[in-house]
A and B are shown apart, each in its own frame.
Chain A
Amino acid sequence: MKAELKLLLPALRRFAYSLTGSMADADDLLQNTVLRLLDSPPATGIPLPQWAFKICRNIWIDDYRAQKVRQQAANKTELQQENFTDGEQDMLNDIQLAEVNTAMNTLPDEQREVLSLVAVQGLSYNEAANILAIPAGTIMSRLARARVAMVNALQQKGTLA
């Protein structure tokens, strides 16, 4: 399982980042997810990716959401971004991307997690529905609301025309 989990790490880490909005918190969440997975591997028949994302999401809800880490991160978005400019992206692009995180932080949790699973992880509605234990139709409606909210927020900031 460890080898498979290792291959899954980048995707799991991106998911953690999209949930927490902070790279430091994402790596904390990732580590705790891996620890939990090693202690509680998926039951026979349950795919590891599905189980891993579910664990990650549950830890985020239990430990991070309650701390309002994301709200804190939202207030420090500019600080989070400054270390990750590689010189190739121009400043405007960095600012636009920072606005994405700020907009994500305004989404209700249930919309954020759906957008993370579909847009960041590229999961199908059914796969996301399995992870979140909700109907695929709910995924569809939450995702649409999340995208619309993001469009509105990004248009207000001028990131989208």
Chain B
Amino acid sequence: MKISDEMLSAFLDAALPEHEMEQVRQQLMHDEQLTERMADLAMVDSLVLQHYQQIDQQPMPAGVLQLLDNNEKPASANVVAFPWWRRAQQHVQQHAAAVACIALFAGYGLSQLSEQRQGTLTTLNSEVAQLLSSAPSGHSYAIAQQQFIPQLSFISQQGDFCRQYTLQDNKVQSENIACRTQDKWVLQASLSTERNLAAGNYQTATGGHALDNVLDSLMAGPALSQAAEKQYLTDRNTQ
């Protein structure tokens, strides 16, 4: 009886009727080539399993665990997280990202803000892009009537250079995350809040951690050190 590869394959999984299992067993006892063939087929499973088990050595993404730890999604109604995994399939235009931010802002009293005002702080314009590519974190930089304050840099799980930064004018402050993808800065998340200047200073509605969940889901590791960020900015500017 000729034992086909399909039978051998099913034999490995004990998925044949018992009489066929016995036929294969009997033939294996006398047919060395068949035994070698079965060993090869069995090795495929072993190698495939060994290869894909490697992902077990990597920590489970914090964003996924968070989904199952509480009832909140990383991108809450208040924070706009653009689905970063879709970036490969669609080139997100900067103005489209800004519009999406504005459209989805909810809470934090944002309904009181005009779209125009929100837009000035959530649009990733060329000046912001320039500073994102060159300005070290921890300093404040003036842009027209606004202040640009880069807070930290990190590498995303996609391997992109990303930055969290604040933009503010005298009435509104936005927290933002942008990543440089294919030599273009793309806004990943943005949240605007009104500044409270009544007491002579301001305070964000969230204490500055509004985008933490988004950061957790984006970051591949810890934030870049000053030196690493500097190196990255230098490399980027010399490319």
Contacts and interface: CB of A to CB of B under 8 A. Distances in A.
Most A Cβ at <10 Å: residue of B8, B41, B65, B159: B41
A151 B6 contact: no
B6 A140 contact: yes
Taking chain B's interface residues, is the majority helix, strand, or loop, or is none over half, making it mixed? helix
Given A147-B5, A150-B44, A120 B10 contact: no
B64 to A, nearest CB: 5
Interface stretch (B49-57, B138-146, B207-215, B223-231): B49-57
Interface string A115-157: 1101110001100000000001000110110011011001100
A50 interface: no
A69 B51 contact: no
Given A27-B61, A27-B157, A17 B48 contact: no
B45 A31 contact: no
A27 B47 CA distance: 21
B44 to A, nearest CB: 4
Nearest to A9: B60
Max chain B Cβ within 10 angstroms of own Cβ: one of A3, A67, A136: A67
Contact of A101 (B9, B10, B44, B51): B51
A55 to B, nearest CB: 14
Contacts of B58: 23, 84
Contacts of A3: 68
B45 A97 contact: no
B157 A140 contact: no
15 contacts: A3-B68, A10-B56, A24-B157, A27-B157, A30-B61, A31-B85, A32-B85, A63-B85, A86-B57, A96-B47, A100-B50, A119-B48, A140-B6, A143-B10, A147-B41
Interface of A: 2-3, 5-6, 9-10, 13-14, 17-18, 23-32, 34-35, 38, 63, 66-67, 69, 84, 86, 96-97, 100-101, 104, 115-116, 118-120, 124-125, 136, 140-141, 143-144, 147-148, 150-151, 154-155, 159-160
